Chains A and B, each alone.
Chain A
Amino acid sequence: MKLITAIIKPFKLDDVKTALNAAGITGMTVSEASGFGRQRGHTEVYRGAEYTVDLVPKVRLEVLVDSADVDSVIETIVKAASTGSIGDGKVWATTVDHIVRVRTGERGVDAI
């Protein structure tokens, strides 16, 4: 089992959700996040005053999947989140040892 975490541009959330739903993934956790990567913060000029935006707003999306589905799900997310410009984000997967569905107590893959 894997936890896929994606950091994407906020406006791409709807596209990614739609794509994941179409791929049969219905559950996910979404949170507001901010940070920067190679994109760094960018400098804005507003009414003559220059100010630096240190942290860029992003959306963090987490999905639990069966190990077998990892590649296809990552690909789905990457495709839907891509604009081709800097700051599109990152997707990664980590191994998950245990999953329990709180309501039923189901464990492992059944709880996904």
Chain B
Amino acid sequence: MGTRERRERSDQIDGELSTLFHDALSRLDITENNIALTAVGGYGRGELSPGSDLDILLLHAGLSPEKLKEFVNAFLYPLWSTNRKVDYSLRTKSETLTAAQDDIKVTLGLLDIRHICGNANLTDDVASSALEQWQKEYKKNLPKLRASLDERHERAGELAYLLEPDLKEARGGLRDINSLRALARLDVIEVALDRVAAAESILMNVRDALHETSQRERDQLLFTEQDKVAALLNYADADVLMLEVAKSARAVDYTASRTWDRIDRLERRSIFKRSRPVGVAKGLVAFDGELAIDEAYEIESDPALGLRAAAIAAQRGLHLTVDACVDMASQLRDLPTPWPRQSREDLVTLIGAGEHMIETFEALDQEGLIARWIPEWSHVRFLPQRNVLHRHTVDRHMLETAFRAVALTRKVHRPDLLLIAALFHDIGKGFPNKDHSDYGEELIQPLARRMGFDEEDVETLALMVKHHLLLSAVATRRDLDDPQTIAFVLAFIKDAQTLELLHALSIADGEATGTTAWSKWKAGLVQDLVNRCLAAMSGIAPAPQLELTPEQVEMAESGELRVLLTKRDENFVIEIISPDRTGLLSMVAAVLSISRLDVRSARTRTIGSSAVMTWLVALDAYAPEPTQEGLHSLLAKAFDREIDINKRIEERINNYRKYPGIPTAPPVVIATNDLATNATVVEVRTHDKPGVLFNVSRTISKFGVDIRAAIVATLGAEAFDTLYVTDLQGNALSEEKAKILANQVENYLLTL
């Protein structure tokens, strides 16, 4: 199995074809001047796998159709009786070049044309014309090539992450190497073919062995063949084989991505001037759909840059430039332990970006950045799983699960925990003699602590990882009518909020695995189990209200506006005590927003005729640092209507709209009456944007009700706001009125 064997096989076939060719010529009395036999594609490169088709092209100088028909019959007939499959075409030079113009595959095949016998001048002429045509018309051809690659990748998936991949067609496979070779022949950009040479040899050998073991030209490496192929190529076992295949595919895919990246840049430069880079966050600039690091920025000074870049790239649908990844890999310092809050939120934001997350994550992973932040990830990288239910390697399965979890973020109270658990639920896989759920629990705890989650969250994450299969297992194997079954689940999962998270994780995990693992039937059983458990629980308590300190109560009684600003790590804590007034929350939210302070969390509460608020805010990139006096005076002006808040906040929202975004799940607003507080609790779950809190609170105030308290949380890119509202007499709203209010807020959010 190797290049030499492929070459020998090719040489041998050359000889056989030559003999048949000359026999046919002499029998039909055709001179060699008028015809040439050539090989194209892989056979053209002199590399034949055991079961490959013979791609041949017969070039002729205008022989009559009758004569040609006679010749083809005489030449190919003996071949058809053997088992070799022959794929032939019969063309003049001009027919060949026209066919190449119409079909990009013909073009690529011709770039490898090789003379076998007959008139060599005919072959040389077509070879040089085809190359010339490829180089001359590349601007027309490249989009075609790209479209055909995209279509193929879409159909065949990614070689590195599929458990039964197609070695030729999948992304990172042999056809991609051919495309790279063709791009190299353009002579307009440098193509690092040397970076894929080793990968090509491995993939070719695996393919040869597959042809050998399966006794046919099949390029899909099925489970049933993997052991045999591994044995034939002397790999320790099929897992080692698949790991080598995955690594090779990644090398090919990475080189291909970089090459296309270069072509794109070249194209842009030649068509129009590059757009001016726009600063989008500290140290980061966006231009032409890409996110790069500001040239003047000191990467070494800012360990949080990496996850910030990832979060912004994924959320805005920008491509992280290769240079950015390479530079960060060499210069970025390690994150401190525990991570700063912002980095943790950036990771959640990255995961929450759905489709774009996978691309961004891959780019970082290829440069080894993910493994630096999360060393546990290295073990599951490309890890195959020999299980008929699964389609993907362990790492890719977890990314797919996270992707599915994004759609479920509105169904849970803690979208951040759902996303993190989804990304790491199988982190314990690949350790022999260890149950992956149990070991996953052991691994996630220190990991979550390093990320800076508090102990309660660490416990929830550990429970989710440990029990991620619990609901499906119980729903399909235990009697749901038996109270014991419900008691069994409740023994592990104590509260409805955790159950809700675990349910969402089960759905995401199941959907990512595939329809065999997650049918509607199974989903129905799990839903039934969850409903029964929820019925046995006491329900979910809304977020608790702010506890006031005696100092705060005392200050509240003074009836004056007080602002206290303190710095905490990268963020600011702002304490505001103010006489209560209609629309207070929206005014304060607006003032913070126009001061370019992003609200990360807040708790507010009305006491007597005053309101007490604590805000945790982050400063926008390039915004000036806030001062206590500045905020105080801005608030006072806003209260006295000396500044037009509405106008200024509209400006800011419109400014944000200019940035491209990604599709996000629609907002969900739920209103329920809470007996304990005699108020209506409005829960707002939405994608975070500037002005969300302002608009939500303004809509509620306009509805003619009071906001007694608010608990605001930003979890990555998701906002989860809980507002306690009452009518002007201080009572909870009627059920009907609460529903109308929830609808109005939801509809308003949809227009943002």
Contact = CB atoms under 8 A, between A and B. Distances in A.
A44 interface: yes
B525 A57 contact: yes
A53 B534 contact: no
A45 B519 CA distance: 24
B528 interface: yes
A97 interface: no
Contact of A32 (B521, B534, B539): B521
A83 B479 contact: yes
Contact of B480 (A11, A14, A32): A11
B535 A32 contact: no
Contacts, number: 34
A85 interface: yes
Contacts of A10: 475-477, 525
Interface string A2-18: 00000001110110000
A34 interface: yes
A47 B673 CA distance: 13
Given A32-B522, A34-B524, A53-B528, A85 B534 contact: no
A57 B535 contact: no
Contacts of B539: 47
Contacts of A83: 479, 481
A2 to B, nearest CB: 27
A33 B522 CA distance: 10
Interface string B654-687: 0000000000000000000000000000000000
B531 interface: yes
A47 B525 CA distance: 18
B268 interface: no
A108 to B, nearest CB: 30
Given A34-B521, A57-B524, A47 B479 contact: no
A49 to B, nearest CB: 11
A36 B531 CA distance: 20
A85 B481 contact: yes
Contacts of B475: 10
Interface string A72-107: 000000000001010000000000000000000000
A33 B525 CA distance: 12
B214 to A, nearest CB: 18
B84 interface: no
A11 B478 contact: yes
A8 to B, nearest CB: 12
Contact of B477 (A11, A33, A44): A11
Given A46-B531, A46-B534, A57-B524, A32 B519 contact: yes
A47 B499 CA distance: 15
Given A11-B476, A34-B521, A83-B481, 6 more contacts: A10-B477, A11-B478, A11-B479, A11-B480, A32-B521, A47-B539
Interface of B: 475-481, 519, 521-522, 524-525, 528, 531, 534-535, 539
19 contacts: A10-B476, A10-B477, A10-B525, A11-B477, A11-B478, A11-B479, A11-B480, A14-B477, A32-B521, A33-B521, A44-B528, A44-B531, A46-B531, A46-B534, A47-B539, A53-B528, A57-B524, A57-B528, A85-B481
